[in-house]
């Protein structure tokens, strides 16, 4: 044992790592350890304070983000079908907007298409109905005209309300005209002209005696006015089709609340 101790001491003296300049390699600095531990404690305390200060709603949202991302990455079949139909509708509507501006392929016919659209506007129809009502001298004519006026007013209010709810823009950035602002027809869904011409054509087919050629022309007029709104870029195809459906429903509503001749005479006398 006494001989082995001097050998070990000599070995330690000969070891290069035991010199003073290499002591930092064998023993970690206490200052670094203390700074690292203090920084870890501070970060942990800051994280805990942030977690305490964050509201439960924010914590729930942070937990739900991965699930929402998964839902967006894996949409349902109904969502895929709806988005596909919407994309087809927008693409076809843009292709059919041949009179959306002067630079379009049919830009020269824009004035004529706008004139066709005026024939289905609400203001000229309301003004014409009032003029005919003043000049009418028969009870049957006044009854039909009063109910037609009611149908036109209902059409403007219903379409304006639906457009305010949907707030859908048209396929092109086309500003509404003055008559459109007067009837609050500023959005795309549903198409006000389409609903009006559908209601008017059905009303005339039911309450006026017309020959077959006139009945065919009336239906063609309604179709041309409706799809002229797609050609000038104001509405999508689905806006026009939904307008036709709403126009038919408005006609059915007017038939349910049809005002009798006595009621019409009372309203005319008040007016």
- The burial class, CB within 10 Å (0-12 / 13-18 / 19+), for 159 is buried
User: Pick from 168, 186, 166: which is nearest to 177 by CA?
Assistant: 186
Beta strands in the chain (DSSP E): none
Q: How many helices (H) and strands (E) does the chain have?
A: 13, 0
User: Active-site residue 207, yes or no?
Assistant: no
CB-based contact 150:268 (threshold 8 Å): no
120: tokens are 């289905």
Q: How many CA atoms lie within 13 A of 38 on its CB side?
A: 6
Which sign, positive or negative, has the C-alpha torsion 139, 142, 146, 148? Answer: positive
* Annotated catalytic residue, options 121, 193, 207, 236: 193
Known catalytic residues?
Answer: 193, 235
């Amino acid at each position: 044992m006494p001989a082995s101790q001097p050998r070990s001491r000599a070995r330690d003296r000969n070891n290069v790592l035991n010199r003073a300049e290499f002591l930092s390699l064998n023993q970690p600095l206490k200052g670094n350890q203390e700074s690292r531990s203090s920084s870890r404690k501070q970060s942990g305390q800051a994280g805990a304070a942030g977690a305490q200060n964050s509201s439960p709603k924010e914590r729930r949202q942070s937990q739900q983000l991965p699930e929402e991302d998964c839902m967006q990455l894996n949409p349902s079949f109904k969502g895929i079908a709806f988005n596909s139909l919407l994309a087809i509708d927008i693409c076809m509507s843009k292709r059919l907007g041949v009179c959306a501006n002067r630079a379009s392929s049919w830009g020269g016919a824009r004035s004529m298409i706008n004139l066709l659209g005026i024939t289905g506007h609400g203001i000229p129809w309301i003004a014409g109905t009032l003029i005919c009502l003043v000049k009418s001298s028969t009870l049957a004519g006044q009854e039909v005209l009063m109910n037609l006026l009611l149908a036109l007013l209902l059409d403007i209010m219903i379409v304006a309300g639906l457009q305010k709810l949907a707030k859908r823009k048209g396929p092109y950035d086309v500003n509404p005209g003055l008559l459109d602002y007067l009837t609050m027809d500023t959005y795309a869904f549903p198409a006000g002209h389409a609903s009006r011409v559908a209601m008017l054509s059905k009303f005339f087919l039911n309450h006026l005696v017309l020959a077959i050629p006139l009945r065919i022309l009336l239906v063609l007029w309604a179709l041309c006015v409706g799809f002229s709104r797609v050609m000038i870029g104001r509405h999508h195809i689905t806006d026009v089709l939904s307008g036709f459906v709403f126009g038919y429903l408005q006609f059915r509503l007017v038939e349910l609340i049809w005002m009798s001749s006595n009621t019409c005479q009372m309203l005319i006398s008040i007016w």
